[in-house]
Amino acid sequence: MKLGVNIDHIATLRQARREAIPDPIDAAKECIKGGADGIVCHLREDRRHIQDKDVYRLRELPTRLDLEMAATDEMVKFALKVKPDYVTLVPEKRQELTTEGGLDVVRNSKKLKPIVKKLQDKGITVSLFIDPVAEQVEESALLLARFIEIHTGTYANAINPAKKKLEYQKIGTFTQKALLIGLKVNAGHGLDYQNVKDIVRIFGIEELNIGFSIVARSVIVGMKKAVEEMREAIK
């Protein structure tokens, strides 16, 4: 299973003081040294962490770049300029602390169809961040997206063991369903050094996208080591 490291919260720290440090690009370089297969960042409408120039600079690194973004005209225009390897389309609300739940691709199908096509026609692989729900997986295939990223946050945050088990089963079931109908599957959100050990047992997930837990760990042991430890956890 591959590991994409989301470095948004390096930029969160920088923006807390509007300083030039810590530089997310330096952090990304350390992630690569630690064994990350790719770098992920989310350019939000309110630019609360990652800034436009960060994305351009990340693009220069010799690694795969996955740009998370909302499905808006502004972001599509930006993505077509930067040309990341991947775009992951996510829902976005101004007030949220982090992405809350998957994109409702069923409800937004009409709007998403031309966006997915426009990006993929320019050679950008599109992934749709969705909840593990049958209709969402089916619609993602109809939208001709190459990938889905299954939202693992509900599973990760569940405290009740029965609910946790159910959420875990849903991730497994809908990974298999997605593979059967021709989608490739990534997963992410809320994954840490412990719960990731269960997720890696699910057959067919191509890549995990992990941010917060790795950045938090990096404060203690450094970014390269934090990524190495996550690599070890998902082995």
Q: Give the x/- contact pattern for ligand PXP in 128-147, rule: CB under 6 A.
A: -x------------------
Stretch that binds ligand PXP, among 138-146, 173-181, 197-205, 211-219 (CB under 6 A): 211-219
Stretch that binds ligand PXP, among 12-20, 43-51, 158-166, 184-192 (CB under 6 A): 184-192
Q: Give the x/- contact pattern for ligand PXP in 89-128, rule: CB under 6 A.
A: -x-------xx-----------------------------
Residues, the chain, total? 235
Give the residue from 171, 188, 173, 182 showing the smallest Cα distance to 143: 182
- CA 212 from centroid of its chain's CA atoms: 11
- State the minimum distance, in angstroms, from the CB of residue 42 to ligand PXP: 5
Q: Is 149 a catalytic residue?
A: no
Neighbour-count burial for 57-78, b at 16+ CB within 10 Å, e otherwise: ebbeeebbbbbbbbbeeebbeb
Q: Which residues contact 58 (CB under 8 A, 6 or more apart)?
A: 24, 25, 28, 39, 41, 65
Residue 189 in contact with ligand PXP, rule: CB under 6 A: yes
First to last CA, the chain: 8
Stretch that binds ligand PXP, among 24-32, 71-79, 169-177, 206-214 (CB under 6 A): 206-214
**Residues noted as catalytic:** 42, 68, 189
